[in-house]
Structure formats: C-alpha cells, structure tokens
Amino acid sequence: MPQSMTAFEFEYQTEVVEQRIRGLKYEQTLCDEQIETNKLTAKKIDVEASKELIRRSQLQLDKAKLDNDILEQKVIQTTDNLSFEKAMTLINRESLMVQGKDAVLKLQQAKIDFEKNNKLFQLKYRNVPQIEFNSLGLSGGR
C-alpha cells in the first residue's frame, strides 16, 4: 500500500529525481561529447593512416616508374647492341664475300698460270722423236 507523503516530501523527491535526471542528462551530454571526440580522433587516425597509405603507394609508383625507366633503357641498349651486331654481321658477311671472290679469282689465275706453265713444260720437256742425223755425219739424240 502506498504511503502518503506530504507536499514537501513530494516536492523534495521530485526535485531529487529532477536533479538526478539533469545529472544523467549532463553525463549523457559528456558521453556524447566524448563519443564525438573519439569519432574525431578515429577520423584523424584514419586520415593519417590514409596519408601513410597514399605515401607508400606514391613511393611504390615512383619505384615502378624508375624500374620502368631502367627497363626501357635496357631495352634501348639491347636494341642498339642488336643493331650493332646485325651491322657487324653484315659487314663481316660482305668482307667474307669479298675475300671469297678474291680467293676464287686468285684460284682461277693460279689455274690459268698452271695451265700455261704446264703447256710450256710439256713443250720444253716433251719426248722429242729421235732424228737420224747419220746422213749428215752427226750422232742422233739430244
């Protein structure tokens, strides 16, 4: 059964309850402010983490660009080396062709000289038939 209370007690309890409610509202306001502060701090941390991630990504991009530049230079150098080797091969081939043609000409000249010398040799040292010089009083033979 409810107790009866005086108007003063009612007012007193009402005031206590209202103060308690105001205190809770104040604590709630403080908690809301703390929550907002924490959210702001979390956002700052997220921003810093994002900045760090962006910085790392930029470094990786710069490194990739540098690696790409190095690779392009290697490709250019390799292409230049290949072009040089092709040119040297062409020059070497031309030189070998000239040397080969020169050797063929020398061989042909040597063959012509050999044939001439062989004919001269055959003319000079061929078997000459024995001619009878007896009728002239000479002895035959060489």
What sign does the CA torsion over 132, 137, 138, 139 have?
Answer: positive
Residue 142 has pLDDT above 70, yes or no: no
Quote the pTM value: 0.48
Token couple for 141:
């033979």
Domain layout of the chain by residue ranges: 7-125
Q: 53-67, 80-94, 115-129: which range is least confident on average?
A: 115-129
Alpha carbons within 13 angstroms on the beta-carbon side of residue 55 total: 6
Residue 113 has pLDDT above 70, yes or no: yes
Residue 32 has pLDDT above 80, yes or no: yes
**pLDDT: is 137 or 119 the higher one?**
119
> pLDDT value at position 123?
86
**96-103 long-range CB contacts below 8 Å, 24 or more apart?**
none
